[in-house]
A and B are shown apart, each in its own frame.
Chain A
Amino acid sequence: MDTKFALHGIDYMVMIVYFAFVLGIGWALKKYMKNASAFLEAGRSIPAWVAGLAFISTNLGALEVMGMTGSGLKYGMLTTHFYWIGAIPAMVFLALFMMRFYYGSKARSVPEYLKLRFNEKTRGLNAILFAVMTVLASGISMYALAILLENVLGWNFNVSLLASAAIVLAYTYLGGLSSAIYNEVLQFFIIIIGLLPMAFLVMKDVGGWSGMQASLAPIVESRGFAADTWTSTWKYTATETGNPLGVAWYGIFAGLGFVLSFGYWCTNFLIVQRAMAAESMTAARKVPLIGAIPKMFIPFLIIVPGIAALVLLNDPLKGFALPLNDAGQPIYDYTIIMLLKQYLPAGVLGLGITALLASFMSGMAGNVSAFNTVWTYDIYQSYIRPATGNKESDDRHYLKVGKMATIFGVLVSIAAAYVASKFGNIMDFLQTIFSMINAPLFAVIFLGMFWKRSTGNAAFTGLLVGFLIALLHHGLTQPEGATTLVKGGWLGVIHTYPVEMAQNFWTAIIAFTSSTFLTVLISLLMKREKSDEDLNGLVYSMTPRLDDSSVMWYSRPWFLALIVGIVMIVLSILFW
């Protein structure tokens, strides 16, 4: 199947307008970048709705969009668990219970919160792991973009890679975190406007929701599932074998709904940084809730068209096909690309392609802007050159370091992109490692925030050993049909999971549980290191309740959370 697009002048025109705005925003923000705080924390001045859209946009990178449409084809509506149960409860929890400590403690990053709550070495461990992982992630997204441009538009790999790196560098260097956040908001709207025509046309083509259901029935039944499996979310999760995900409801609840999603949404600095940039405490607590509302509807834009693509694939009259890899397997990640190609004429096609480009770039910019903050505050300021006490010269110095870190981050990303081009599996590998870091981190931060007795040494051990146990579990298990050691089993196989998803869930669950257990145990065996007064503003029971009575009732976090909860329950029942 040919993946090449024939773009017209009009499509390039749309693309050029977009790049002009991206760079223009960076340029316009340049004059505000007077000190390190403005550059690395957006001066804590971002309105709640802007930070809220950036909050979910950071997660809506192109790899995510492409992967989710492909998963829609492979697993049907079960994929929405990643957007509903696998995101919303964690976002609500972050908003209502955790944001006030991140924001109110005056920590400038998640590692810095660990330093304030626990100790220096816990911060150091987390900061170094985070910095390395973010730069790698940025490099991989750069690599994926260049490959896509090569396959789809026929552009040269090296030129695409360096050009996209240059644009990202230009606007993050000029406008820092504010620039990254503004461009994420831009990206959010362009993704919606660019993909909506495709979503609308594909649904029209398959005869709407009911037409799609009818056409899916024979296809799905021939695979041994119930006729409406691809259009249900919870209905067939009573057993692991009844649905294509290979996970039953308790696995979805514990693995995706709890450990993986809380580990990601509540502790990943890349995400939390957007809320920490908000203009006030109330705004910061509203950020995840404002983001949650569009988040719940994104599946209709990216997952449902993927499900419809399964109908198209099985109807020879439609002439729809996916490209094949070297092993002759369809490349599911190209589903959305092929849908754009199938339905969009010149003009709107330009918007669709620009939407994908935008989400790649803002993904890189997000990683770079999280990296430079952690590097400057948690590594450079902590270990290389501490503050001197002269606020003005310190500020100038750390601004310079932040800017240098931006350049350095982009350069290392470029190197990582070339490494990724040599080892195709590096992305799977990185995602696996990320879930191993996040699950213990969530255990430790959760205990830190809600249990005053937990100590720094316990947290450090919990974090380190939790990660090592996750690594061990990955080394001893593998998903069925695994061909490479990246998928696990590099120490010998003692258990085989039916699908990779199940292995990932259990890696996270085991890491979280062992980390929690260890942190609790060591905390109980050791003397407390911090007094009640030290923990004011860092631990739930030691911090006075917030008074929202000055905020209008409809603008209070609790009220927003209620709306978000109701919408999620209604959606789950509608698509049961």
Chain B
Amino acid sequence: MLDIRFPIGLMFSIFGLIITVYGLITIGNTEMYERSLNVNVNLVSGLCTLAFGLVMLFLSDPVKKILRKK
């Protein structure tokens, strides 16, 4: 059966990428990050989400199979 780590990994990697890129674009936008206590919460949270997604992807069966072949 489908290894759930694969869709989880893929989805959170995409989430992480989108949010990180958005965090990078909005660096220096003090007005926007005023509500989040001047933390660029998109950048921080985006990178964490991306890291989680990549770990899940790395552990999933389809990716493991490809790595083993190489």
Contacts and interface: CB of A to CB of B under 8 A. Distances in A.
B19 A343 contact: no
Interface string B35-53: 1110101101110110010
Interface string A64-101: 00000000000000000000000000000000000000
A321 B2 CA distance: 45
B33 interface: yes
A10 B42 CA distance: 11
Decide if the interface of chain A is mainly helix, strand, loop or mixed. Answer: helix
Contact of A14 (B8, B15, B35, B44): B15
A54 to B, nearest CB: 10
A348 B19 contact: yes
Contacts of B42: 345, 347-348
Decide if the interface of chain B is mainly helix, strand, loop or mixed. Answer: helix
Contact of A205 (B10, B37, B41): B37
A107 B60 CA distance: 32
A345 B37 CA distance: 11
Contact of A344 (B1, B12, B23, B41): B41
A14 B32 CA distance: 19
B8 A186 contact: yes
Interface in A12-38: 13-14, 17-18, 21, 24-25, 28-29, 32
Given A17-B15, A193-B52, A196-B45, A344 B8 contact: no
B18 A28 contact: no
Contacts of B46: 347
Given A185-B4, A201-B41, A345-B35, A351 B19 contact: yes
Contacts of B2: 25, 28-29, 32, 182
Contact of B45 (A50, A178, A186, A348): A348
What is the interface residue range for chain B against chain A?
Answer: 20 to 34
Contacts of B49: 193, 351
Nearest to B16: A193
A189 interface: yes
Contact of B35 (A29, A193, A343): A343
Contacts of B12: 189, 193
A342 interface: yes
A186 B7 contact: yes
A10 B22 contact: yes
A277 to B, nearest CB: 11
A226 interface: no
What is the interface residue range for chain A against chain B?
Answer: 20 to 34
Contacts of A347: 19, 22-23, 26, 41-42, 46
A303 B52 CA distance: 24
A344 B7 contact: no
B7 A14 contact: no
A251 interface: no
Contacts of B44: 197
A25 B1 contact: no
Interface string A442-467: 00000000000000000000000000
Contacts of A29: 1-2
A345 B18 contact: no
A204 interface: yes
Interface in A181-225: 182, 185-186, 189, 193, 196-197, 201, 204-205
A493 B49 CA distance: 54
A344 B35 CA distance: 7
A24 B11 CA distance: 11
Contact of B18 (A13, A32, A186, A201): A13
Given A32-B1, A343-B35, 17 more contacts: A14-B19, A17-B11, A28-B7, A50-B4, A178-B1, A182-B2, A186-B4, A189-B8, A193-B48, A197-B45, A343-B37, A344-B35, A345-B41, A346-B22, A347-B26, A347-B42, A351-B19
The 3 closest A-B pairs by CB, nearest first: A347-B42, A347-B22, A21-B11
26 contacts: A14-B19, A17-B11, A25-B2, A28-B2, A45-B1, A50-B4, A178-B1, A186-B4, A186-B7, A186-B8, A186-B11, A189-B52, A193-B12, A193-B49, A196-B45, A197-B45, A201-B36, A201-B37, A204-B37, A205-B37, A343-B41, A345-B33, A345-B41, A346-B32, A348-B19, A348-B36
